[in-house]
Chain A
Amino acid sequence: MIRIGWKPTAVVLGSALLVTACSSSAPKTAPVPTASGGLVAAAQAAASTAAGGKRPGGTLDLMGELTGAQLTAYLATLKPFEDATGITVKYETTADLFAVLQTRISGGKPPDVVSDPSAGQLQTLAQQGKLTPIDSWLNMGQVRSQFPAGLLNLGTSGSHLYGLFYNTSVQNLVWYDPKTYTGPNPPTSWAQLQTWATQQAAAGHTPWCVGLESGSASGWPGAAWIEQFMLRQAGTAAYDSWWQGKLAWSSPQVKAAFQAFGQVATNPRMVVGAPTSVLTTSFSTSPNGLYSKPAKCSLTVQADWLGNTLAQTVPGVTPVNDIDFFAFPAVSSTGDGGVIETSGEMLATFRDTPQTEAFMRYLATPQFAAMVASSGQWLAANKTVPATSYSTVLEQQAARTYDSAPDVRYTAQGSMPLAMETAFFSAVLDYVKTPAHLDAILAGLDRTAATAYTK
């Protein structure tokens, strides 16, 4: 299943195809950032300390679903660990991580460590007692001060910590083309932003681009919108009980979140060709509507990687001049205005060995986080990394947004059990197609929840 962790690759691919198809001359795009300099030595020292000054050697099986450029960047952040400890990290890629991991656990042969974009799956595994607790290996006081509480809670079961986030991606930033967006910047509220959008719509300019198509994960971008409205309208407490299965889908809060999204996605004055085009347009190509002639939109919602990806794939687009963002504005006083939603991969281990212990300790270090930051692919989950260590302006801005957030919530879709997540995605599509069926759709989700959470 394609998840948020993969999405930049998909965008690069999608947009690259588009670029190849549309331009005969060589496209002028920003270069892909390359990783690190003197950070490597610091990371090696940290890795050596993590291994207790010894060189344990041996191998460590790491399972994940990255491929291509992202995998190369990922492995580069682990290279100092390999060099300093003599431990060889063997990365095993699978496109179907959830199923493969479950099968390997049932067969009694789990990998040493898994890098999982579904923190929900790891939370379930932790509750089932399949994972090895890591809190005794770490300086927990330091960990608590360096990682956001929301992310640590997700890796915690009972009184033990089981997982650490590798990277993070700030979701639901509002991206705009500074040349066409003339509205409030940044808007003080969603109402203020929508007032501008409505004026634009009345003048015949559709303000938003929304695309929900994403292969077998179609619907996730809409789910991300709805999650953001849950945070901004209902607040973190309701948000948490919602993804934990304690707040009904048919509750007024969830219904209001669907409807707030629907006001954009199902309205043909807000999105060109809505609702049909919203369903058929790929999430990866929909932001190109910012630059189509005439422009299809001035605004789109996407995670922090969008700006750099557009700069790397759409000719003539430069960060800040042609693409910039502001944080998703506050919606209502009952919600939490500043809390941001993130996605990312969580690492957890199935074995208590010198190799896994050294590895998990290395992951908790700020030096490792600096390697992640310098990779040009992700934000580091560890908040101690200075924003200036990111290679692009947009990433620095995103890092500041992340660091200054009062708290962080992991995407609800990635926290739910998989059965709930896929039902959520389908429900988003059904809702956009036929908004009048909302009550029946939410009732259906409640029925799914009745069985999805029992395992």
Chain B
Amino acid sequence: MTSTTTALLAAGVTVGVPVALFGYLWTVEKLLTPFTERTRRRLRPWAWLAPALILIGVFLFYPMLNTLLLSFRSADSGRWAGLANFRYLLDDAEAHSALRNSLMWVVLLTAGCLLFGLAIALLADRVRYEVGVKSIVVMPTAVSFVAGAVIWKFMFDYQPAGYAQTGTLNAAWTTVSRQPPVAWLVDTSTNNSALITVGIWMTTGFATVIISAALKMVPAELVEAARIDGANSRQLLRHVLLPQLRPTLTVVATLLAISAFKAFDVVYVMTNGNYHTDVIANLLYQQLFINQDFGRASAVAVLLTAVISPILAINVRTLRREGRE
């Protein structure tokens, strides 16, 4: 596209969208005129919301329902498959391994990010160079997961014993422990933790920023009163700060849990699910794009939605309560 057409298009959108909006509202008012004022008042919000509702219907609800439908159909969606696709999730060893690993991701990523985020927020709060510390912690958030995974591949690099270790971790490990190097991404006792570590490195910044902001919102007089009453740091944290931070921690934890369930890029780039590291999202990709099995892929998607929905519900409830207080 040439720059002239881009400029014209931009101008068209800038002017066109408000014009279309006003046109729509005007038309709605015209259509509502035959009704009584009471009916009009009841219909108006729906009429105004209609375009958005239609878009959500077309782009969110229809695909969701269709996915649900496909999960009961055969691989090429040609005929009904009953519960076969869900039975696959129950019976298949690969599916089990993916589910187990995803659970591990949820527990470790959520716990890790919360702990590090809370610790960094609390400690940074006490020093003058807080902004600097937080900037460094947040920086990995700006890196894409794929790039982060590539960086960490170098960190986890493995050379046979007796050769110079080019990977940072193995260089440190062999120097300190005098033990043979570890193939972090291949060894099944370390590889899942290694991948989750990358996830924690990438996500802790997000947790830190939000927890830190919530920490600033704790009333200073509350902290002061506790101090005057003789509370030491531990008591202050346990009885004042943590209860104050609870709604925030809940929201952050739910968001982290959801992102852990959706983990894909790190695994895809670093191991591609080999050596028992696959997670639900990789299983979905594998079934959808590699195996072209729309039935199983949809069943995985339905499962993912079913697992995440309660977490979302907790999130929404906490946010609402927060808003009411």
Residues on A facing B (Cβ under 8 Å): 96, 98-99, 102, 215-219, 272-273, 276-277, 279-280, 418-419, 422, 426, 429-430, 433, 451-452, 454-455
Contact indicator A422/B292 (Cβ below 8 Å) = no
User: Quick check: B290 and A418 within 8 Å, CB to CB?
Assistant: yes
Cα–Cα distance between A276 and B186 once the two chains are bound (Å)? 8
Residue total for B at the interface (Cβ-Cβ under 8 A): 24
Let me know if B312 is at the binding interface, CB within 8 A.
Answer: no
Measured between C-beta atoms, what is the minimum distance from A168 to chain B in Å? 26
**A99 to B268 Cα, complex, angstroms:** 16
Question: What mask results when residues 69 to 80 of chain B are scored 1 for a CB within 8 Å of chain A, else 0?
Answer: 000000110000
- Asked if A215 contacts B159 (CB within 8 A), the reply is no
Q: Tell me if B160 counts as interface (CB < 8 A to partner A).
A: yes
Find the B residue at minimum CB distance from A215: B269
Q: Is B185 an interface residue (CB 8 A)?
A: yes
B158's partner among A218, A277, A419 (CB-CB below 8 A) is: A277
Residues of B within 8 A of A102 (CB): 289, 292
A455 to B76, alpha carbons, bound, how many Å? 8
Are B160 and A419 neighbours in the complex by a CB distance under 8 Å?
Answer: no
Q: Please, which residue of chain A has its CB at the minimum distance from the CB of B186?
A: A279
Asked if A419 contacts B290 (CB within 8 A), the reply is: yes
Q: Which residues of B contact A279 (CB under 8 A)?
A: 183, 186
Residue interface bits B176-211, CB-to-A below 8 A is 1, else 0: 000000010110000000000000000000000000
Chain B residues whose CB sits within 8 angstroms of the CB of A454 once the complex forms: 75
Whether A433 and B186, one on each chain, are in contact in the complex, defined by CB atoms closer than 8 angstroms, is yes
Report B's interface with A, CB cutoff 8 A. 75-76, 157-161, 163, 183, 185-186, 268-269, 271-275, 286, 289-293
Which residues of chain B are within 8 angstroms of A430 by Cβ–Cβ distance? 274
Cβ A422 vs Cβ B275 within 8 A: no
Q: Of A273, A433, A454, which is in contact with the most chain B CB atoms at under 10 Å from its CB? A: A273
By beta carbon, the residue of chain B nearest A100 is B289
A454 to B273 alpha-carbon distance, docked (Å): 25
Residue in A closest to B296 when the chains form the complex, CB atoms: A451
Known A-B contacts A433-B186, A455-B76; the reply to A215 vs B272 at CB < 8 A is yes
Expressed in whole angstroms, the Cα–Cα distance for A430 and B94 within the complex equals 14
The prevalent SS among residues of B at the interface is: loop
On chain B, the residues within 8 Å of A418 by CB distance are 290-292
A218–B267 CA distance with the chains assembled, in angstroms? 13
Taking a contact as CB atoms under 8 Å apart, the answer to whether A99 and B272 are in contact is no
Do residues A280 and B158 form an inter-chain contact, with CB atoms below 8 A?
yes
Are B291 and A419 interface neighbours, CB within 8 A? yes
Interchain CA distance A452-B289 in the complex, whole Å: 13
Looking at the complex, which one of A98, A218, A273, A280 makes contact with B289 (CB distance below 8 Å)? A98
In the complex, which of the residues A216, A276, A422 contacts B268, with contact meaning CB atoms closer than 8 Å? A216
The chain B residue with its CB closest to the CB of A432 is: B186
Does B183 lie within 8 Å of A422, measured CB to CB? no
Q: How many A-B residue contacts, CB cutoff 8 Å?
A: 59
Q: Which residue of B lies closest to A426 (CB)?
A: B274
Q: Is the beta-carbon distance between A280 and B186 smaller than 8 angstroms? A: yes
| CB of B250, distance to nearest CB on chain A (Å) | 36
Complex alpha-carbon distance, A106 and B186, angstroms: 38
- B160 & A422 in contact (Cβ 8 Å cutoff): no
Which of B163, B269, B271, B291: most chain A CB closer than 10 A?
B291
User: 20 A-B Cβ contacts within 8 A?
Assistant: A98-B289, A99-B289, A215-B269, A216-B272, A219-B274, A273-B159, A273-B163, A276-B186, A277-B158, A277-B159, A277-B160, A280-B157, A280-B183, A280-B185, A418-B290, A418-B292, A419-B290, A426-B274, A454-B75, A455-B292
CB contact between B275 and one of A99, A273, A429 (< 8 Å): that residue: A429
A429 and B289 alpha carbons, distance in the complex (Å): 21
The distance from the CB of B308 to the nearest CB of chain A, in whole angstroms, is 24
Chain B, Cβ-Cβ closest to A447: B92
Question: In whole angstroms, how far apart are the Cα atoms of A219 and B273 in the complex?
Answer: 13
Do A429 and B160 form a contact, CB below 8 Å, given A279-B186, A418-B290, A451-B291? no
Contact A276 B158 (CB under 8 A): yes
In the complex, the answer to whether A276 meets B272 with C-beta atoms within 8 Å is no
Name which residue of chain A comes closest to B182, CB basis. Answer: A276
Nearest opposing residue in chain A for B185, CB measure: A280
Asked if B292 contacts A419 (CB within 8 A), the reply is yes
The residues of A that contact B272 with a CB separation of less than 8 Å are: 215-218
Question: Complex formed: what's the CA distance from A325 to B172 in Å?
Answer: 39
**B161 in contact with A273 (CB, 8 Å):** yes
CB of A28 to closest CB in B, whole Å: 23
A455 to B273, CA, bound (A): 24
Residues of chain A contacted by B186 (CB below 8 angstroms): 276, 279-280, 433
Residues of A within 8 A of B159 (CB): 273, 277
What residues on B are CB-neighbors of A218 within 8 Å?
Answer: 271-272, 274
CB closest chain-B residue, reference A279: B186
- Which of B157, B163, B271, B290 lies in contact with A272, CB distance below 8 A? B163
- In the assembly, what is the distance between CA of A96 and CA of B290, in Å? 11
The complex places the Cα of A273 from the Cα of B180 at a distance, in Å, of: 11
User: Which residues of the partner chain B approach A276 to less than 8 Å between Cβ atoms?
Assistant: 158, 160, 183, 186
- List 5 other contacts, CB 8 Å, given A219-B274, A430-B274, A452-B291: A216-B268, A277-B159, A280-B185, A433-B275, A454-B75
Q: Whole-angstrom distance between the alpha carbons of A102 and B290 in the complex?
A: 11
Contact B290 A422 (CB under 8 A): yes
List of A residues within 8 angstroms of B292 by Cβ = 102, 418-419, 455
- Closest 8 A/B residue pairs (Cβ): A273-B160, A216-B272, A280-B158, A419-B291, A99-B289, A277-B160, A276-B183, A279-B186
Shortest Cβ distance from residue A118 to the other chain B in the assembled complex, whole angstroms: 12
Shortest beta-carbon distance, B277 to chain A, in Å?
A: 11
In angstroms, Cα B159 to Cα A276, docked, is 9
